[in-house]
Amino acid sequence: MPRSYTLATAALALQVPIKWLDNALSHHKVVGVHQEKQGVARRLTIDALVRLAVATILVRELGIPLPTAIEIAEAVTHSDGHFTSSSGLRLELDLKTLRTTLLTRLEHAVEIAPIPKRGRPPKNKTGRLD
């Protein structure tokens, strides 16, 4: 199984707020995002992160709505960085450089991202003798 990353790590690497990324993944399907039942944390593969990185570039720099940006990102990642719209608009992205940059950010993010705590918090035992 390929390595996967937590939501917090992914948000740091993509340079987006965790809440934004969580909402985006709640409303839109992205290939490579492993999501199980409620209460189980999402895990994102490197391929999903590349797709999301392309989508965030399209949203930030071109003002494209997120659902459309995700569709274009899927096409760009499947066609080695190229996309042509039905009206002839051509988009080209250097995926190799983007992936390298993303991997560098991930190395840093893995070190500083908080590990999510799951489950019920422990009982407070301060001052008690057992």
The domain spanning residue 91 has which CATH number? Answer: 1.10.1660
| 89 torsion bin: left (phi>0), alpha (psi -120 to 50), beta (else) | beta
Domain count, the chain: 1
In a domain, 103, yes or no: yes
First to last CA, the chain: 44
> Which of 58-72, 86-100, 103-117 shows the lowest per-residue confidence on average (mean pLDDT)?
103-117
β-pair partners for 83: 91
Return d(Cα 12, Cα 113) in angstroms, integer: 7
In a domain, 127, yes or no: no
- 111-116: long-range contacts, CB 8 A cutoff, minimum separation 24: 112/12, 113/6, 113/8, 113/9, 113/12, 114/8, 115/6, 116/6, 116/7, 116/8, 116/41
Tokens of 55: 């989508």
In a domain, 87, yes or no: yes
Give me the domain span that covers residue 56. Answer: 4-112
Return d(Cα 40, Cα 119) in angstroms, integer: 10
Please answer whether residues 105 and 12 qualify as being in contact, where contact means their C-beta atoms are separated by less than 8 angstroms: yes
pLDDT at 37: 66
Q: pTM for this one?
A: 0.81
Is 63 or 126 the better-scoring residue by pLDDT?
A: 63
Tokens of 116: 């999510």
Question: In the structure, what pLDDT confidence band is assigned to residue 94 with cuts at 50, 70 and 90?
Answer: very high
pLDDT at 42: 83
